[in-house]
Amino acid sequence: MKPLIDMSTEESRNIKAILFDLDGTFVNSDELKSQAYSSLESIREKGLKTVAVTGRPAGWCDLIARWWPVDAVVGENGAFFFYKNKDKIIRKTFYDLDMQYNNRRRLDELFEKCLLNFPYIKMASDQSFRQWDLAIDIAEETQVSTKEIVDIVNFAEGEGACTAISNIHINIWFGDYNKEQMSLKVLKELGLSSKNILYVGDSPNDSPMFKYFESTVGVKSVMNYEGLIDTYPKYITTNDEGDGFVELINFLISTR
C-alpha cells in the first residue's frame, strides 16, 4: 500500500465517483462526525457522484437513500441498492422478493446451528432491520476473538452460506452476490462505467472492491486485518475512520 499522497494528480482528477464503506471508514466507532458528513456535500459540489456501500441493513439504507447527500446506497453486502428519484425511493434487489422468505427461514435454521456450536454469539443489534442476511456481532456491542471469527465463518460456509467480515459484524447470507456485483449494477443505473471509480474501505468485506477497482483507498485500520483480508487497497490514509475519509476528500478536492 502506498501513502495517499502518492496518488498522481492525473489519477485523482480522472475520478468520477466515490464508492465508500460506512462503519470504520465513514462512520467512527462512536458516532458519525459532522466533518465527514459535510465532506460528502463538498465532493458532490465538485461534480463527483457518491455511493455508500455497506453491510448495514435495509431499514438503515432506506433512510440513507432518502436523506443523505448520496446518489445511491448498496446494503447488506450487495443484496440490494436504493436511490432517490425525485421524491421516490427506487429499490432494486439482487434476487426477486419471493426468495426472501425462504432465505430468512434458512438463515434462522443456520443461526440455531451456530448457537449449538458457538453459544456465546449474539445477533447484531440491527438484525431486526435486515431483509436478506444474518449479522453476528463481533465488535459492536460484544467482543469475539480472531480465532472465533474464523471458526464461525468456516462453519457457516460449510453449511453452504456466504460470509463477509466487517470491523463489527460477520454477515452471513445465501446467494451469489457481494458488494462488487451490486456496485456494478448501481454504476450502470447511474450511467457510469466501472472506470474512473474510487473505492474507500477498511476491512475484509471490502476486499472484492479493492481487487476490482483500479483506484482504491484504505483508511489506516485496514492494516489490522492481516490474515483475514485477501486484497489490500492501492493507497492508505494516515488517519483512521471518518478522519481518514475526510483526509481523502480533502486530497481529491486539492487536485481539482
pLDDT value, residue 153: 98
Q: Are 115 and 108 in contact (CB under 8 A)?
A: no
pLDDT higher than 90, residue 175: yes
Mean pLDDT, range 95-124, rounded to an integer: 96
pLDDT value, residue 106: 97
Query: Residue 156 is placed in which grid cell?
Result: 457457516
Q: Using one digit for the tens of pLDDT, what is the confidence trace for 176-189? A: 999 999 999 999 99
Mean pLDDT, range 21-41, rounded to an integer: 95
pLDDT value, residue 171: 98
Q: Using one digit for the tens of pLDDT, what is the confidence trace for 143-173? A: 999 999 999 999 999 999 999 999 999 999 9
Q: Are 27 and 241 in contact (CB under 8 A)?
A: yes
Q: Are 218 and 238 in contact (CB under 8 A)?
A: no
- Contacts (Cβ under 8 Å, ≥6 apart) of 74: 51, 52, 53, 54, 61, 80, 81, 179, 182, 183, 186
Q: Using one digit for the tens of pLDDT, what is the confidence trace for 113-127? A: 999 999 999 999 999
Of the candidate CATH numbers 3.90.1070.10, 3.30.420.40, 3.40.640.10, 3.30.420.10, the domain formed by 97-173 belongs to 3.90.1070.10
pLDDT value, residue 30: 80
What is the domain partition of the chain in residue ranges?
2-95+177-254, 97-173
Average pLDDT, the chain: 96
% of the chain exceeding 70 in pLDDT:
100
Write out the CATH class of domain 2-95+177-254. alpha beta
Q: Using one digit for the tens of pLDDT, what is the confidence trace for 42-70? A: 999 999 999 999 999 999 999 999 999 99
Q: Are 251 and 8 in contact (CB under 8 A)?
A: no
Closest to 157 measured CA to CA, from 170, 147, 141, 139: 170
Q: Using one digit for the tens of pLDDT, what is the confidence trace for 18-30? A: 999 999 999 998 8
Q: Are 64 and 73 in contact (CB under 8 A)?
A: yes
Mean pLDDT, range 30-46, rounded to an integer: 95
% of the chain exceeding 90 in pLDDT:
96
For the chain, strand residue ranges (E) read 2-3, 17-20, 49-53, 72-75, 80-85, 88-93, 134-137, 162-165, 169-173, 197-201, 215-218, 235-236
Q: Using one digit for the tens of pLDDT, what is the confidence trace for 187-245? A: 999 999 999 999 999 999 999 999 999 999 999 999 999 888 999 999 999 999 999 99
- Annotate 182-219 with DSSP letters as a single string: HHHHHHHHTT--STTEEEEE-SGGGHHHHHH-SEEEE-
* Strand ranges across the sheet with 169-173: 134-137, 169-173, 162-165
pLDDT value, residue 227: 84
